[in-house]
Amino acid sequence: MRVALGCDHGGFALKEAVLGVLHDLGHQVDDCGVMSADSVDYPEIAAAVCSRVADGACQRGILICGTGIGMSMAANRNPAIRAALCGETFGARMSREHNDANVLCLGARTTGPGLAEEITRVWLAGEFSGGRHLRRIKMFC
Ligand code: RB5
């Protein structure tokens, strides 16, 4: 699939690790930056990634900041986005199966690279269960 990937300065190092996972798995990546650890405003990156998911250019998005919190708040302002902040693999899997999350948010200062890479793999592999869960996510807006 095609995945939009973005981070702020707090997530730059982890973005490089996640990019490696995406390439390993054979996904195409729209890298929306940033390309250095210079300070930026994370809502601008969240908007760039989410617009690619919302317009269908990318099937999924991944956003990384220091905690993942700011990115998830910003991403969920877009009505087409269901962003899940995940710090462990069970939640990552459930965010796909029950919530059809189309954006994964990671915290580079809260989640180590090994775990973040495993969360990314689990989340990308997860399938939406549909059924009652589709009814519920339709109630979001
Ligand atoms: C940047 O210092 C930090 O605020 C940002 O990466 C993120 O954690 C915000 O939620």
Residue 63, domain CATH: 3.40.1400.10
In this structure, the strands spanning 103-107 and 83-85 are parallel
Report, as residue numbers or ranges, the catalytic residues: 65, 98
What is the rounded average pLDDT of the residues 120-129? 98
Specify whether the CB–CB gap between 120 and 86 falls below 8 A: no
Spell 44-72 as b/e; 16+ CB within 10 A means b.
ebbbbbbbbbbeeebebbbbbbbbbebbb
Structural domain tally of the chain? 1
Report the atom number in ligand 1 closest to the C-alpha of 8: 6
- 141: pLDDT strictly greater than 80: no
Question: What is the extent of the structural domain holding 29?
Answer: 2-138
**Residues in a beta bridge with 104:** 62, 84
Segment 5-29, tens digit of pLDDT: 999 999 999 999 999 999 999 999 9
By alpha-carbon position, which residue is closest to atom 5 of ligand 1?
Answer: 66
pTM, full prediction: 0.98
Q: Is 66 in the pocket of ligand 1 (CB under 6 A)?
A: yes
- Whether the upstream peptide bond of residue 53 has omega within 30° of 0, thus cis, is no
pLDDT of residue 71: 98
CA of 105 to the centre of ligand 1 (A): 12
Q: Is the CB of 68 under 6 A from ligand 1?
A: no
Tens of pLDDT along 49-108?
999 999 999 999 999 999 999 999 999 999 999 999 999 999 999 999 999 999 999 999
| Residue bearing the CA closest to ligand 1, atom 9 | 70
